[in-house]
Amino acid sequence: MMSRLGRNNLKNGLLFISPWIIGFVGLQIYPILYSFYLSTTEYSGFGKATFIGLANFKSLGADPLLLKTIGNTLFYTALAVPVGIVVAIVLALCMNQKVREVSVYRAILYLPSILPTFALVFVWILFTNPQFGVLNRLFVALGLPIIDWIGDANFTKPSFVILAQYGAGGPALIFLASLRSIPVDLYESAEIDGAGVFRKFFFITLPMLTPIILYQIIMGLSGGLQIFTQAYVMISGARSAGVAGPQNSLYFYVVYIFQNAFKYSRMGYAACLSVLFFAVSVVIAMVVFRWGRSWVNYDV
């Protein structure tokens, strides 16, 4: 039986966190439940939704673009997540060096990650333009072939992976904090035993970073599977520049959901795609957490 003081504390605690509870229920729980409902309806976004049962889910198998968008998204995520983690660790190791003005270098390395995504995409479109882009001019100077990073289906997703590394400064700071928390005596003991730089990295630094690596894998998978802004701006910018990704190579899953909902006015089908995405994301998260038990080290 809860005491009077305990009931007062509970009431005051709920009162203080009530803004978060209202926001969580209104902006997280309700949209998820409403999406489940919309997935069983035919709804254009206007008027009244018509209940059609599982018809939207049956239509998934006959959608010619669905597998293409899934393949694009999985390919990008499978490439961007490991590359992003490696780049972030390298940046963190650079930030952790004992050199003069290291704080200035840290700020310079972190600065690109706070720039607006749409601005970075437009700069990247101009930077990689096959006619006058700086990158292709550099390739010509080096005697390399010109690459159409947006118009060639073989390079659109790799160009997205390169573009994503401009945001590696944020994860690098998290890795830097983890590096600074590793006990120095571990390295001193390893030096006494004759361990070199690479042995210390692979047998001390990397195992101690595994919890952060798991965290970045989860965050990277979440961001990679939900990639939208870069793709949407890239499609618009590419069309305005007179080029476009062939074979729907710029179509990612969330872009496809957006277009079904707001371009084709198929809210019910878009909600069906969202439900599928939600279910797959939950399964992937469970698999990754279970896989992490075999290699994540939480002890010194």
AA letter at 42: E
Fold of 64-292: MetI-like fold (1.10.3720)
Tokens at residue 37, please?
């409902």
Give the predicted TM-score (pTM) of the model: 0.86
> 38: which residues sit within 8 A by CB, 6+ positions away?
49, 267, 268, 271
Query: Given this model, what pLDDT does residue 109 score?
Result: 85
Q: Of how many residues is the chain composed?
A: 300
Q: Where along the chain do its domains lie?
A: 64-292
Amino acid 247: pLDDT: 61
Encoded tokens for 240 = 């305005």
Residue of 117, 145, 115, 131 lying closest to 241 (CA atoms): 131
Q: What is d(CA 228, CA 253) in angstroms, rounded to the nearest whole number?
A: 8
> In this structure, are residues 163 and 120 in contact, taking their beta carbons and an 8 Å threshold?
yes
Q: To 10 degrees, what angle do helices 30-38 and 267-292 make?
A: 120
Residues ≥6 apart with Cβ < 8 Å to 148: 130, 155, 243
Q: Token pair 């601005």 is at which residue?
A: 119
Q: What is the pLDDT of residue 241?
A: 47
- Contact predicate 267/261, CB 8 Å: yes
Per residue in 118-162, pLDDT tens?
888 888 888 888 788 888 888 888 888 888 887 777 888 888 898
Mean pLDDT by 10 residues, the chain (300 residues): 83 92 93 93 89 92 89 93 94 88 86 84 83 83 83 83 89 92 90 89 92 94 90 70 58 91 92 94 93 84
Give per-residue pLDDT as tens, 152-195: 778 888 888 988 888 888 999 999 999 999 998 999 899 988 88
For the chain, the distance separating the N- and C-terminal CA atoms, rounded to the nearest angstrom, is 42
